[in-house]
């Protein structure tokens, strides 16, 4: 092989790997991230786990990616280690789909209809159609089929380029000697393991082995141990991803390694023991692309079949390797852990899943803000130091959530996102600030309540009644806006602005009434300051509720002017706004001032 042959081989490998990546990206995009979400909600049935692991891997075209996701799920605590075992086994089966696709390149026939089944015959057409989809269609849902077609065409072109470049090696005696050496089971296994560990893809490694079939000097005796080693080499990716993971996350990666090592070693011992007695004649035959796919698939199905019943043994081996310490036992017993475990960088490779996890964590943050606000509002009429301390704790938690979520959202934004995921990410980025500010206002209300208690000050019955009415309106605004955010319900979000408008009106009226009481000497100036602070904080909370509602409403609009929207809906000709405002005004009607003389 001359320098041009080497360059052709390297170029073919590059195109092959890019084609496989593009094909996987298109298939993943077409699935809409649903497969990863299904994988997350895995049932405890081991057979279902295997099937699901195989299905997900067949779509995303990478057992390493599936296993890395599983490590992330286990690391975050949303998947048990016992559930992970079946998925890992299934991933090994699912990854064989690539070898079956590549086996089509070996079709040879003078029959025109059979020849059309050979990918090199129709790949140019797929590439042409795919590029039209990718360049001229705007919808992501239509771009994904384009990626699939182009990815498939590149995969086949890369395979053909590699096959053509290595074909002259059939005339090189030294190369034939190397392949003969690899027929030694141990050497062949080590070669397959090392090469796959370097390129971190068993699918690509098997594809290159299939390309070598074009030389005509690769026998099944050489190919079989190399395939065995490739299954061990692919474990490197998951092991690397487990660095920095929890002990359980590391155990998931260790199970992947043990499954492949034990499966490979036992398979080879049994196979070569039988070969010593039976003498499998096919080992001396020249390897074909189809035969490589059969061996790759048969090996993974057989090892899964006999190791699945022994999954508990694999778990015990993982626990024996990475022992359970006292701190981990305490965490497991209390069922508590890192509240930000869902924001795991491993999930960034499945952006739709990462966005979904962000939403789950933000929902927890919203609950924290709501709890802190409602506690602080109750403290105004009856102060309790223990509850006040709880408000401070919740506010600190909200700050941590804002920092963690903001950082993770920035990481997700660098990924290739679907339109709806990008829109949701934008909404979440805006809303985490509002949720955090609401918890700040809760602390301010708590401080006002503490001041009233420490200075032994108390509002008049009239002022207390008015504040209760305003507080009830704010509570409803919080409930509606927070629930609308959680469910992404635009109809519910539309109800917030009329209520926020009423809260502003009530706040102005309450300030005017309190000033009147000050003039009449029925209230002190110091109490007036506390009253004003409470009103301002409640009004600010309502403003943040309005921001959240507006973000929900504009989530699917590329161009949206919030000020223009607010001006439009508050227009006197907006009958729905007027009806809602009137209903809220009736519901939160202030007592007539005369009745409180």
Here the CATH number for the domain that contains residue 423 is: 1.20.58.220
239 and 265 belong to one structural domain: yes
The pTM (predicted TM-score) of the whole model is 0.67
Q: Residue 448: inside a domain, yes or no?
A: yes
The two most distant CA atoms of the chain are separated, in Å, by 111
Domain boundary among 294, 327, 360: 327
465 and 444 belong to one structural domain: no
Q: Residue 434: inside a domain, yes or no?
A: yes
Confidence at residue 116, expressed as pLDDT on a 0 to 100 scale: 53
Confidence at residue 335, expressed as pLDDT on a 0 to 100 scale: 41
153 and 127 belong to one structural domain: yes
Tell me how many domains the chain contains.
3
- Residue 292, Cβ neighbours under 10 Å: how many? 28
Q: Residue 155, SS3?
A: helix
- Measure the N-to-C terminal CA separation of the chain; round to a whole number of Å: 104
- In this predicted structure, the answer to whether residue 563 has a pLDDT above a threshold of 50 is yes
413 and 535 belong to one structural domain: no
Domain boundary among 456, 482, 517: 456
106 and 153 belong to one structural domain: yes
Q: Residue 510: inside a domain, yes or no?
A: yes
Q: Residue 332: inside a domain, yes or no?
A: no
Q: Residue 441: inside a domain, yes or no?
A: yes
Are the C-beta atoms of 71 and 81 separated by less than 8 Å? no
Confidence at residue 505, expressed as pLDDT on a 0 to 100 scale: 92
Average pLDDT over every residue of 218-222 = 86
Q: Which domain holds residue 9?
A: 3-327
Are the C-beta atoms of 551 and 431 separated by less than 8 Å? yes
> Residues 36-84: pLDDT tens digits?
566 656 555 788 888 888 888 887 667 777 787 787 777 766 677 888 8
Q: Residue 338: inside a domain, yes or no?
A: no
Average pLDDT over every residue of 317-323 = 87
Q: Residue 333: inside a domain, yes or no?
A: no
448 and 478 belong to one structural domain: no
323 and 436 belong to one structural domain: no
309 and 366 belong to one structural domain: no
Q: Residue 44: inside a domain, yes or no?
A: yes
- Please give the structure tokens belonging to residue 318: 């993982």
Are the C-beta atoms of 84 and 74 separated by less than 8 Å? yes
Confidence at residue 434, expressed as pLDDT on a 0 to 100 scale: 94
Average pLDDT over every residue of 282-304 = 89
Q: Which residue has the tokens 């699901």?
A: 52
475 and 452 belong to one structural domain: no
464 and 445 belong to one structural domain: no
- In this predicted structure, the answer to whether residue 596 has a pLDDT above a threshold of 50 is no
Are the C-beta atoms of 156 and 120 separated by less than 8 Å? yes
Average pLDDT over every residue of 228-250 = 81
Domain boundary among 435, 456, 477: 456
245 and 372 belong to one structural domain: no
133 and 260 belong to one structural domain: yes
Average pLDDT over every residue of 91-113 = 70
Average pLDDT over every residue of 166-176 = 65
Closest CA to 71 of 232, 199, 229, 254: 254
Of residues 139 and 454, more confidence is placed in 454
Confidence at residue 471, expressed as pLDDT on a 0 to 100 scale: 93
Average pLDDT over every residue of 345-353 = 81
């Amino acid at each position: 092989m001359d320098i041009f042959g080497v360059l052709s081989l390297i170029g073919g490998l590059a195109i092959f790997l890019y084609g496989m990546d593009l094909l996987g990206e298109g298939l993943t995009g077409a699935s809409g991230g649903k497969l990863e979400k299904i994988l997350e909600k895995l049932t405890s049935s081991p057979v279902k786990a295997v099937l699901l692991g195989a299905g997900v891997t067949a779509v995303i075209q990478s057992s390493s990616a599936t296993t890395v996701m599983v490590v992330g799920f286990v690391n975050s605590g949303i998947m048990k280690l016992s559930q992970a075992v079946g998925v890992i086994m299934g991933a090994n089966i699912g990854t064989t789909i690539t070898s079956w696709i590549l086996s089509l390149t070996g079709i040879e026939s003078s029959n025109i209809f059979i020849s059309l089944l050979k990918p090199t015959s129709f790949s140019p057409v797929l590439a042409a159609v795919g590029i039209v989809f990718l360049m001229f269609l705007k919808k992501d849902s239509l771009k994904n089929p384009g990626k699939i077609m182009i990815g498939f065409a590149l995969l086949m072109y890369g395979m053909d380029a590699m096959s053509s470049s290595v074909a002259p090696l059939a005339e090189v005696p030294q190369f034939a000697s190397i392949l003969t050496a690899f027929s030694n089971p141990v050497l062949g296994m080590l070669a397959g393991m090392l090469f796959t560990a370097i390129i971190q893809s068993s699918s690509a490694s098997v594809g290159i082995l299939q390309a070598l079939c074009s030389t005509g000097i690769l026998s099944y005796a050489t190919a079989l141990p190399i395939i065995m080693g490739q299954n061990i080499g692919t474990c490197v990716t998951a092991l690397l991803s487990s660095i920095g993971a929890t002990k359980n996350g590391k155990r998931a990666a260790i199970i992947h390694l043990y499954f492949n090592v034990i499966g490979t070693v036992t398979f080879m011992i049994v196979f070569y023991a039988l070969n010593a007695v039976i003498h499998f004649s096919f080992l001396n035959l020249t390897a074909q692309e189809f035969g490589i796919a059969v061996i790759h698939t048969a090996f993974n199905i057989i090892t899964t079949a006999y190791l699945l019943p022994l999954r508990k043994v694999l778990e015990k081996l993982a626990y024996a390797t990475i022992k359970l310490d006292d701190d981990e036992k305490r965490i497991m017993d209390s069922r508590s852990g890192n509240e930000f475990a869902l924001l795991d960088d491993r999930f960034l490779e499945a952006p739709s899943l990462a966005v979904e996890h962000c939403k789950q964590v933000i929902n927890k943050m919203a609950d924290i803000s709501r709890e802190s606000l409602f506690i602080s509002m109750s403290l105004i009429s009856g102060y309790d130091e223990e509850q006040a301390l709880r408000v401070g704790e919740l506010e600190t938690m909200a700050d941590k959530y804002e920092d963690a979520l903001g950082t993770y959202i920035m990481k997700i934004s660098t990924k290739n996102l679907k339109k709806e995921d990008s829109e949701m990410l934008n909404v979440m980025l805006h809303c985490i600030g509002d949720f955090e500010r609401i918890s700040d206002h809760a602390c301010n209300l708590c401080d006002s309540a503490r001041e009233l208690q420490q200075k032994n000050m108390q509002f008049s019955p009239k002022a207390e009644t008015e504040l209760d009415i305003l507080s009830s309106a704010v509570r409803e605004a919080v409930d509606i806006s927070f629930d609308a955010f959680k469910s992404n319900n635009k109809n519910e979000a539309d109800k917030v602005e009329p209520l926020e408008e009423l809260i502003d009106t009530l706040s102005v009226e309450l300030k005017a009434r309190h000033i009147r009481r000050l003039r009449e000497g029925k209230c002190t100036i110091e109490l007036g300051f506390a009253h004003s602070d409470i009103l301002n904080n409640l009004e600010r909370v309502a403003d943040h509720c309005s921001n959240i509602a507006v973000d929900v409403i504009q989530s699917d609009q590329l161009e949206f002017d919030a000020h223009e929207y607010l001006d439009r809906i508050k227009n006197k000709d907006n009958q729905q706004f007027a009806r809602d405002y009137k209903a809220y005004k009736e519901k939160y009607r202030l007592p007539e001032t005369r009745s409180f003389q």
